Amino acid sequence: MSGAQPFDPRAYNAQPYGGGDPYADYKESELDFAGLIDLADRRLGGGVVAANDEFFAQRENLLKPEPAVFDPHAFGHKGKVMDGWETRRRRGPGAEQPHPGTDDHDWALIRLALPGLIRALNVDTAHFRGNHPTEVAVEATHMEGTPTSEELLAADWTELVPRTPVYGHAANGFEVTSTRRWTHLRLKQFPDGGVARLRVYGEPIADPVWLAAQGSFDVAALLNGGTVEDASDRFYSPPENIIAPGRSHKMDDGWENRRRRDTGHDWVRFRLTAQATVRALEVDTAYLKGNAAGWITILGRDAHGADPDAWFEIIGRTSLVPDSPHRFVLDAPVTVTHVRVDAFPDGGMARLHVYGSLTEAGVADLESRWEAAQR
């Protein structure tokens, strides 16, 4: 488990609310979060269920998808306006004991958008200089359905990150080694203070009962347990956007790579929910008007087939129209665990949908992963 030591507060005496570059002196995490899925992403359905205090800044800010911003001149009736979750200053029980107790802390309950295995956490204290917590801890629990805050507070919690010192104005990264599937987190800050953002990186594990009830569904979608395994380029926007829910609403809400200056091509590879029989696909280039891929080829691979490393063609090289959906109904269904889209020569895609249903082997594989993650 990685940790951090608190900044020397004297470093912030000269400019307590920053000056010039709002990210000056910002400490980046030593962990690399590139290519990981934020299981708590608000755009996917994550939420901050409750908090014991949000006097200065509301708890919902924790899961905003964009980086925290800072306006040194923004003050309200309660004090400095901060883009994060900030609680009031804790006090002891009286004049004889003015300081908070050793274990006094504030907390927030977070519902994951994508329940699954957690690999890393980023407790980001951007712009909190002198008003950040001295330590944080993170706990997790598993509760299906939509539990109330009271039910969550009474749940059994497992420690993912022990009480650890953190930096102010920094990305505080923590590796997580748990092998269980989690649905909710509890962020604790000691004794009080502010956290700008919380990111929960991991691997989603879909509910096999819920998917079985749907029959045919998008077996590449993030919400159904699909993931991006790798991509040739992540320069302008991440390929994980391609399997996000809903339609793209602006150019960087999809995947766009840099302009190629060679004779190669770009590609992105997906792992589906589990082995599936695929009957139709849709490629959308919404809002990509002068930078959509010119042509694509879609390939498939069955990791449980006779030749598990062999890729075969599902859709031959086909031209794409900018800012448009493209639908393909297959003449014959194909059985695959992975899909790869090759983009020629470069350019972007907004969304990919792969419609099908899990095979018996796929259902058994997903149920096995689900059961293993409950232990």
Q: Where are the alpha helices (DSSP H) in 94-135?
A: none
| 228, 324: one domain | yes
Integer Cα distance of 49 and 152 in angstroms:
9
The pLDDT of residue 12 is 37
| 194, 214: one domain | no
| 18, 132: one domain | yes
- Section 42-55 average pLDDT: 92
| Residue 93 domain flag | yes
| Residue 1 domain flag | no
> Last residue of some domain: 204, 231, 263?
204
Integer Cα distance of 18 and 72 in angstroms:
7
| 169, 234: one domain | no
| 199, 50: one domain | yes
| 183, 254: one domain | no
Integer Cα distance of 35 and 240 in angstroms:
8
| 178, 231: one domain | no
The pLDDT of residue 19 is 53
pTM score > 0.75 for this model?
yes
Nearest to 58 by CA among 40, 45, 72, 76: 76
The secondary structure of the chain in percent helix, strand, coil, rounded to multiples of 5, reads: 15, 40, 45
21 pLDDT more than 80: no
| Residue 2 domain flag | no
96 pLDDT more than 60: yes
Residue type, 349: M
In sequence order, what are the residues at sequence separation of 6 or more whose Cβ sits closer than 8 angstroms to the Cβ of residue 103?
A: 190
157 pLDDT more than 90: yes
| Residue 97 domain flag | yes
CA distances, 137 to each of 157, 226, 247, 306 (Å): 12, 30, 36, 47
Integer Cα distance of 194 and 76 in angstroms:
16
| Residue 3 domain flag | no
| 73, 195: one domain | yes
| 52, 163: one domain | yes
Q: Is the peptide bond before 345 cis (omega within 30 degrees of 0)?
A: yes
Choice between 25 and 201, residue whose per-residue pLDDT is larger: 201
Contact 136, 183 (CB under 8 A): no
> Last residue of some domain: 154, 184, 204?
204
| Residue 352 domain flag | yes
Contact 275, 361 (CB under 8 A): yes
| 217, 152: one domain | no
- Section 115-123 average pLDDT: 95
Domain that holds residue 351: 208-372
CA distances, 166 to each of 13, 130, 173, 257, 355 (Å): 18, 12, 9, 35, 44
SS3 242: helix
Contact 194, 57 (CB under 8 A): yes
Q: How confident is the model at residue 72 (pLDDT cuts 50, 70, 90)?
A: confident
Residues found in the chain? 375
Q: How confident is the model at residue 10 (pLDDT cuts 50, 70, 90)?
A: very low
The pLDDT of residue 8 is 42
- Section 281-308 average pLDDT: 94
Q: What are phi and psi of 43, to 5 degrees?
A: -65, -20
Integer Cα distance of 206 and 218 in angstroms:
12
Q: How confident is the model at residue 1 (pLDDT cuts 50, 70, 90)?
A: very low
Contact 132, 172 (CB under 8 A): no
In sequence order, the β-bridge partners of residue 357 are 277
Give residue-wise pLDDT tens across range 316-352.
Answer: 999 999 988 999 999 999 999 999 999 999 999 999 9
Matching residue, tokens 């022990």: 162
| Residue 133 domain flag | yes
Q: How confident is the model at residue 283 (pLDDT cuts 50, 70, 90)?
A: very high
Residue 356 belongs to what H/E stretch?
strand 351-358
| 212, 200: one domain | no
The pLDDT of residue 20 is 60
CA dihedral 132, 133, 135, 140 (to 10 degrees): -100
| 361, 283: one domain | yes
Give residue-wise pLDDT tens across range 187-225.
Answer: 999 999 999 999 999 999 988 888 888 889 999 999 999
Q: How confident is the model at residue 16 (pLDDT cuts 50, 70, 90)?
A: low
Q: What secondary structure does DSSP assign to 250-275, as a single string?
A: SGGGSBBPPPP-SS--EEEEEEEEEE
SS3 369: helix
CA 225 to chain centre: 13
Comparing 48-52, 103-107, 246-250, which segment has the lowest mean pLDDT? 246-250
Count up the domains in the chain and report the number: 2
The pLDDT of residue 247 is 86
For residue 46, the domain's CATH number is 2.60.120.260
> Last residue of some domain: 204, 230, 246?
204
Average pLDDT, the chain: 90
Matching residue, tokens 């075969």: 312
Number of H helices, E strands in the chain: 3, 19
- Section 24-33 average pLDDT: 85
| Residue 238 domain flag | yes
- Section 78-95 average pLDDT: 91
Comparing 206-220, 258-272, 352-366, which segment has the lowest mean pLDDT? 206-220
